[in-house]
Amino acid sequence: MKGYSNQKINNSPVKIFVGLISGTINGLTTLGGMPVALFLLITSIQPAIIRGSLAALFFLTDFYAIVLSFFGGIVELTTIYRTLLLIIILPLGVYIGNKFFIKSKEETYRKVVFYFLIIISITGIIKIVTNI
């Protein structure tokens, strides 16, 4: 991973393929952001753009999931009220994340995000296998 960047994959057909794979994985396992995040990490895109793209992706997919879950009867109105209250804390998390992001180096950022994705994936696999 150190210093690796693939210039040849940053084109429209590859982006469409990554989108299709991500959508399929999201529909099956709710881990659709992983292929997109990995794709962004191995291209030569700047970390600030990666961070913004992932934040937008996760916001949109989570919003989509909560709306579908609400109309599907999985999420109740109480959950939405609690979520709205917790959104008040969100700016604090954004502020702290921004402080750490500005101080980080590009190589460190890519490495931390890559390992974080691995941990999330392993945790998801364990949850599926153990049925927790």
Q: Is 124 inside any structural domain?
A: yes
Place of tokens 């793209």: 53
pLDDT tens digit sequence for 40-88: 777 777 878 877 887 887 788 778 878 888 888 888 888 888 888 888 8
pLDDT tens digit sequence for 82-110: 888 888 888 888 888 778 777 767 777 77
Q: Is 44 inside any structural domain?
A: yes
Q: Is 1 inside any structural domain?
A: no
Q: Is 116 inside any structural domain?
A: yes
CB-CB neighbours of 37 under 10 Å: 21
Q: Is 2 inside any structural domain?
A: no
DSSP 64-118: HHHHHHHHTTSS-HHHHHHHHHHGGGHHHHHHHHHHHHHHS-HHHHHHHHHHHHH
Q: Is 91 inside any structural domain?
A: yes
Q: Is 61 inside any structural domain?
A: yes
* pTM of structure: 0.57
Q: Which range marks the domain in which residue 99 is found? A: 7-130
